[in-house]
Structure 1
Amino acid sequence: MSYAGVQMFMEKLNQLINCYDIPFINNPEIIIERPQFQLLYAELGSMIRTLFFDECQDLHEHEGVKDLKKRFTYAAEEAQYIVDLFLSNVHIRNIIPQDLPTFEDVNPSLNLDDVRKSFSSILKEINQSASVQRTLNQPAQISISRTSLESERLLDEIFVGFDRDFELIRGKLVEDTKKIDVVSIVGMGGIGKTTLATKVFNDGFVKYHFHVRVWVTVSQIYDKRDVLIQILLPIRAELNLKKDVDCVLHEKVLKNLDFERANDSQLHELVHKNLMGKRCLIVIDDIWHIQTWDKLKLFFPNNNNGSRILLTTRLAEVAKHANPDGLIHRLGYLNTSRSFELLCQKVFQGNECPEWSIKPGMQIVENCHGLPLAVVVIARVLAKDAWNEMFWVEMAYRTGSYIVSDENGCLKTLALSYNHLPLHLRECFLYFGGFPEDYTFQVQRLIWLWMAEGFIQDAGDRNLEDIADSYLMDLIDRNLVIVANRVSDGGVKACKVHDLVRELCLQKAREEQFILKLERPLSKQFSIITTSPSKPVRMFTNKDLDILDYDHIPTQNLRSILWFSYFTSLSDDIAKIMCSYVLLRVLDLQKCELNDFPKAMESLVHLRYLAIWISSKADFPDSICKLWNLQTLVCLSYDRKVLPTNISDLVNLRHLWSYLPSNEAVGTQSFKKPFFLPSIGKPMKLQTISNVELGDGVGNFQKCFPYIKELTCTTYLDKQNDFKPLTDLEKLKLTSLHRIIKSAAHDNPKGEPSCGKIHITFPETLKTLTLVDCRLPWSDMSIFKLLVNLQVLKLHNNAFEGSCWNTDEQEFKRLKFLRLERLNIKLWGVDSKSFPCLSQLEVFNCLDLEEIPLETVEIPTLKLIKIRDYGHSLGESVRRIQEQNDLGNCDIKIDISMEIQVQF
């Protein structure tokens, strides 16, 4: 259990102690145990304050403290296990019908005596151990042992695939600016940062341009003395080639200086003297800490003569700290052709590769996924029998296993990044290992899963979703996670991990017995899990199998089940499974089409995340609202599901999400809403609602959803749609359903925007707005200029009607993204002052639109125009803008294509 997991457990205890609006908690069997819950809550809080005074402190602390933390988390896991089993017992006895299977292992009592003895023993050791007390009362020091960079240097011999990167870095280093500048190369381990820096360092023009060149390798440990000596050694070597008087004097000093006996002050002074007045290139290779940079930069004088510092690092935050305004060059993966070129260079040493090697060679490099170090590792294996065609064919099918098994290769290099992760990121990172190869993670869903698993640490005034998002961005900045897709406002929509990073996650997760991954049928006698029953285990599988047939799967400690492929067997035994694994927190059955909503779902009182696919026309039973721990509810269905009116009993529900299965016709997805919420009894903590049709009983949005941040809903536009009181709302997608629209004009108070005859108000907090089928007049577009924070505006499917939109008197101060899709607009008058921040314009399926006005060229921030399925006249206008590009009058990327012919 992590620190965040203990926090989540304490939050549950707090609800058990103080919450009075949840029927389950007010059960007499639970109320009578509140004194035990209170005592446990206090003991956990005391232990946290003692042992986790700074959860983000460096990992390399006193061994005694690490051992005490480990024992504490084991005891906390045991306490949570006992409490959860007790709650399940109470819940099942009260709600499960007699004809359903029972869970024999449910604990009928709440006995926490052994747990408290463990806490007392730990506190006693803390008080008696002077060394532990010292560690807890002083900041931890960095003491990571230095790791060699042999695997990174495997790349240095042959330089392939970085030509453009090389030209960019070299050009920046030798440009004619006097002030000292910092240039950074950032990328994951094995991507070739050191290789590129070496190429630049040894370039002939760079040698000529700089008087002094110094290479310093820092790695994960900072040793001031070692760095000073690394600087002085190459200076001594270069001084041996100089004959002027000053150099001779410095040479004598260096030659006579015994590095072993000299103190740090002498070394520092000598560094300063030898760098002062010279144009220097300092390469700082493999730097890991901001604090290290702050110490290193003191050694390098600003001679105001064009000196440069070149950093290589895996951590974007280090590069940003060193020079926020400088060049930070992210090194990307090699494409297939470059990878194959590198492979052949390494294997055949400049000789032409045989034709038969192309097909298996291409397959080999595809398996390396663009990581240069992986290509080099496999090239070393191929070089042993380079001209054997059968060997190449065999390697094409076994590339991954050779790379992973290389003792000094990829995983060892990547493991440095894992070892450097702070505690609060480790479980989030390991979680990637359970998912299938090449899996694309939808960021929103990933964050919800992290929260449900208990990985996110509470930080007081920040909500858990924002904290989880910062965790993900940290992993991206550490080059462990790849951005796969971005949303319109520039945020990350989807992400991936490199196959080798996933392999590292899986390897570490198995070592920690953090996940159980079933990818093929297993022998019933094969035991995988040997942990105590209280240790949470997560099961990931992409196989259609009956998990009840595998006795190695632990009943007590299985907390998560996630399936990734379509299957059928679980449908038949769903009731048995749910009654067997009553401690589940995460249940993802999106690939299992269930015939009905399973009654046994009610037994999973600890569920925090539920994703389910229901094919029948049955609605949700009211009893689902007894799952009071539920944070996220996701439903797939072809048919509309009516949500129970007592859904507000789900006091912890934060995200309500529904969508159609992927094989549903695309053309209907915008209109069919799987969820229908007729009414709501009391306010909810919901932050996200997606694809929900709101009934007349949900008219007061502020009363029903006071904390809503993202809302995708369908509503009738003849009723009051007052979103303005939702002061947390940032993203809104509104789809109209039309009833008889009243024609009477509606008067609005000054400053309160409305949409013509249809009354809609919006909060100023809104950043993203999508309107679908609202059929508003273009004259009402002026209301959006009041939304001062609006950055993304999408108008779909006749959101506005009319042949002409003139923006002359309208200003969208912060709008960065504008999409017009399936509108009947013909003429569009643009004033460049109306869009001072617009960077991307998209026009899709607007077949009547005659042109993109040339005035758009005058928008200084516009970088991209995307056109899809256009008429002839519109195409000609885009070509005129392209001509302006060619003449150098603007720099706008044009992306234009005809995908489908749409009939109106």
Structure 2
Amino acid sequence: MEWVRGTDQQNMIASVLGMGGIGKTALVSHVYSIVKYDFNTFAWIMVSQRFDVDHLLQQIVREFRKNDRRKEFPEDIDMTDCSILQDIIRNYLKNRRIFEVARLAPESNIIYLEPLEKNDAQLLFYKEAFWRNNDMICSQDKEQWAKTFVQKCNGLPIAIVCIGRLLSFRTPCSLEWEKVYKDIEMQLTNNPIIDMNIILKVSLEDLRHNIRNCFMYCCLFPEKHVMQRKSLVRLWVAEGFVEEVGNRTLEEVAEDYLTELIHRSLLVVVKRNDSGCVLEVQMHDILRVLGLSKARHENFGSILNPAKAYLIKGARRVSTECGDLAQLVEYAPHLRSLLVFQNSFTFGSLLQLSGYQIRPVFELFNLRFLGLRRTRISSLPRSIGRLKNLLVLDAWKCKITKLPQEVTKLYKLTHLILTHLIVTAKPVTSSLEFLPSVGVPAPTSISSMKKLQSLLLMEASAEMVRCIGALVELRTFRISNMTQLTRLGIANTKWLPL
């Protein structure tokens, strides 16, 4: 820590090297979280193997704007003009200690991370295998098996964690541990050391079928992508991965799936709220690569590479960040779902489009999830009423001011989420500041949409209040413009979450 906090000019840049899964990101993240408040500003940027320079510049600006303790970073920045962002960042860093970092100073320090020593590896294994127990003590009948597992992992932290968590879900007896070991032994050939591919294979075989599908689905998201909990569980539901359990909603059951994947260390929590509830999750790069290989092998899903579009042949689910999406028609005739993270397209039974303007097409009769969040769509056509299987319509912070009456024909819809973004004269600053939005008038006969569980953000009206009583499945409800409900005595309240 002192090394990072010091003023030695040679400590401006540090490189951390080591094999995949050895804990490079974990180490840097830990140091960053401790020392960041010793600086006037700080930024955490994750760069994937496939990256876009403009997007990285926008990320850096967002981080500096959010974490500028002296409030010296320019507030009004046109985030759509990436040509000026580099100069803005450079000018901001001038005369600061971190200016050398911005110039990529040639002097650097390299930290080599080695595999864990035997004792440290053993302690990590006990911590993961007995995380449910306060004492984390291994009984004598399992101690020899514990040493055997640790030896096989060869000091690789991610392997130790995954094996330990896998064992924690088994009956705590030596016979169960022996069974897991034999399952792993069956996968080994001449290599006495367990590799991550074997660990993931055994871990996936230990999952229930539906949860296994949810894990492989997460592999389709881009490298280092942060997944929002609410959106993710709704996507799982729309895909049909979630089974009904008693009187619980499918989203509630999906939350349990997510919790199990986290407890098995197959997903990592990125952010929690003040109550400890998970808000964002992420997948480790190694697990994602191995999971993608498994997904491709089973034709579960694939990622579109425009140069090798033939590789998606037979895939039922495809995600893409670039390329000619017309290739999908030729090479993926059995496509059910498409996740688009930069381009726009309309196909399959599920469509997720975030952050980009799209041309809406509503002829997809099997569509179950339509994500239009933060796009520039200003209206929905009457043909939206044809999407009889739609479960989720997410148009948060679009430019939609009115819903067509045909929306009320979507009898299966469980989540109707939309707000009208208020256009201001200030430059577009993306997430640098709060972009105000207001509710949208509810269409008449909204009471016919009896499957609704989430309804936000609707503009308050007497008609809206009369219809709410019929929506017996409703769990989340928000309205705006409370001035129209003065007779209820809550005129000074801007939002009303129920």
- Number of the residue aligned with 2:172: 293
- Number of the residue aligned with 2:236: 450
Q: Distance in 2 between matches of 1:609 and 1:647?
A: 14
Indicate yes or no: 2:447 matched with 1:679.
no
Residue 436 of structure 1: how far off its partner (Å): 0.8
- Number of the residue aligned with 2:295: 509
Structure-2 change in CA distance of 1:678 and 1:407 (3 Å): same
2:442 alignment partner AA: L
Give a deviation string over 1:535-560, Cα, whole Å, max 9, x none: x61110111x22114664223x1111
Identity fraction in percent? 25
Residue 508 of structure 1: how far off its partner (Å): 0.8
1:677 alignment partner AA: A
Q: Distance in 2 between matches of 1:448 and 1:423?
A: 18
Residue 218 of structure 1: how far off its partner (Å): 7.2
SS in 1 for 2:337: strand
Q: Is the 8 A contact 2:479 2:495 kept in 1?
A: no
Q: Is the 8 A contact 2:238 2:391 kept in 1?
A: yes
Greater C-alpha radius of gyration = 1
Residue 652 of structure 1: how far off its partner (Å): 0.6
Residue 633 of structure 1: how far off its partner (Å): 0.5
Residue 510 of structure 1: how far off its partner (Å): 1.1
1:470 alignment partner AA: D
Q: Is the 8 A contact 1:606 1:627 kept in 2?
A: yes
Give a deviation string over 1:793-822, Cα, whole Å, max 9, x none: 99xxxxxxxxxxxxxxxxxxxxxxxxxxxx
- Number of the residue aligned with 2:366: 606
Residue 431 of structure 1: how far off its partner (Å): 0.7
Q: What are the residue-to-residue correspondences of 1:47-58 with 2, within 5 Å?
A: none
Structure-2 change in CA distance of 1:696 and 1:709 (3 Å): same
Indicate yes or no: 2:490 matched with 1:758.
yes
Q: Is the 8 A contact 1:441 1:495 kept in 2?
A: yes
- Number of the residue aligned with 1:707: 473
SS in 2 for 1:602: coil
Among candidates 378, 381, 384, match of residue 621 of structure 1: 381
- Number of the residue aligned with 1:563: 340
The structure showing larger relative contact order (alpha-carbon pairs under 8 Å, at least 6 residues apart) is: 2
Indicate yes or no: 2:324 matched with 1:546.
yes
SS in 2 for 1:435: coil
Indicate yes or no: 2:399 matched with 1:639.
yes
2:206 alignment partner AA: H
Residue 407 of structure 1: how far off its partner (Å): 8.0
Residue 296 of structure 1: how far off its partner (Å): 7.1
Structure-2 change in CA distance of 1:712 and 1:216 (3 Å): farther
Q: Is the 8 A contact 1:217 1:285 kept in 2?
A: no
Structure-2 change in CA distance of 1:561 and 1:585 (3 Å): same
SS in 2 for 1:494: strand
- Number of the residue aligned with 2:457: 691
Q: What are the residue-to-residue correspondences of 1:326-341 with 2, within 5 Å?
A: none
Residue 465 of structure 1: how far off its partner (Å): 0.7
Structure-2 change in CA distance of 1:717 and 1:489 (3 Å): farther
RMSD, aligned CA: 4.4
Among candidates 578, 583, 588, match of residue 352 of structure 2: 588
Indicate yes or no: 2:144 matched with 1:216.
yes
Indicate yes or no: 2:260 matched with 1:464.
no
Indicate yes or no: 2:482 matched with 1:716.
yes
Indicate yes or no: 2:281 matched with 1:495.
yes
Structure-2 change in CA distance of 1:285 and 1:694 (3 Å): closer
Indicate yes or no: 2:408 matched with 1:648.
yes
Give a deviation string over 1:166-194, Cα, whole Å, max 9, x none: 6xx9xxxxxxxxxxxxx952169xx9xxx
Q: Distance in 2 between matches of 1:624 and 1:634?
A: 13
SS in 1 for 2:127: strand
1:458 alignment partner AA: E
2:469 alignment partner AA: K
- Number of the residue aligned with 2:128: 186
1:758 alignment partner AA: I
Q: Distance in 2 between matches of 1:620 and 1:286?
A: 47
Q: Distance in 2 between matches of 1:289 and 1:608?
A: 36
Residue 718 of structure 1: how far off its partner (Å): 4.2
Give a deviation string over 1:630-674, Cα, whole Å, max 9, x none: 0000115552431123422111100112355994476553x4126
2:341 alignment partner AA: F
Q: Distance in 2 between matches of 1:285 and 1:681?
A: 50
Q: Distance in 2 between matches of 1:701 and 1:487?
A: 32
Q: What are the residue-to-residue correspondences of 1:129-528 with 2, within 5 Å?
A: 157=117, 185-186=127-128, 215-217=143-145, 288=167, 292-293=171-172, 408-518=194-304, 520-522=305-307, 527-528=310-311
Residue 457 of structure 1: how far off its partner (Å): 1.3
Q: TM-score, normalised by structure 2?
A: 0.59
Q: What are the residue-to-residue correspondences of 1:830-845 with 2, within 5 Å?
A: none
1:658 alignment partner AA: L
Give a deviation string over 1:144-174, Cα, whole Å, max 9, x none: xxxxxxxxxx9564556x8xx96xx9xxxxx
Give a deviation string over 1:875-901, Cα, whole Å, max 9, x none: xxxxxxxxxxxxxxxxxxxxxxxxxxx
Q: What are the residue-to-residue correspondences of 1:82-97 with 2, within 5 Å?
A: none
Q: Distance in 1 between matches of 2:223 and 2:255?
A: 23
Q: Is the 8 A contact 1:586 1:607 kept in 2?
A: yes
Residue 426 of structure 1: how far off its partner (Å): 1.2
Residue 433 of structure 1: how far off its partner (Å): 1.1
Q: Is the 8 A contact 1:718 1:758 kept in 2?
A: no
Structure-2 change in CA distance of 1:622 and 1:511 (3 Å): same
Q: Distance in 2 between matches of 1:648 and 1:433?
A: 35
Q: Is the 8 A contact 1:609 1:630 kept in 2?
A: yes
Q: TM-score, normalised by structure 1?
A: 0.34
Among candidates 620, 625, 630, match of residue 390 of structure 2: 630
Structure-2 change in CA distance of 1:651 and 1:516 (3 Å): same
Q: Distance in 2 between matches of 1:682 and 1:437?
A: 42
Q: Is the 8 A contact 1:219 1:287 kept in 2?
A: no
Residue 602 of structure 1: how far off its partner (Å): 2.9
Structure-2 change in CA distance of 1:694 and 1:187 (3 Å): farther
Q: What are the residue-to-residue correspondences of 1:98-109 with 2, within 5 Å?
A: none
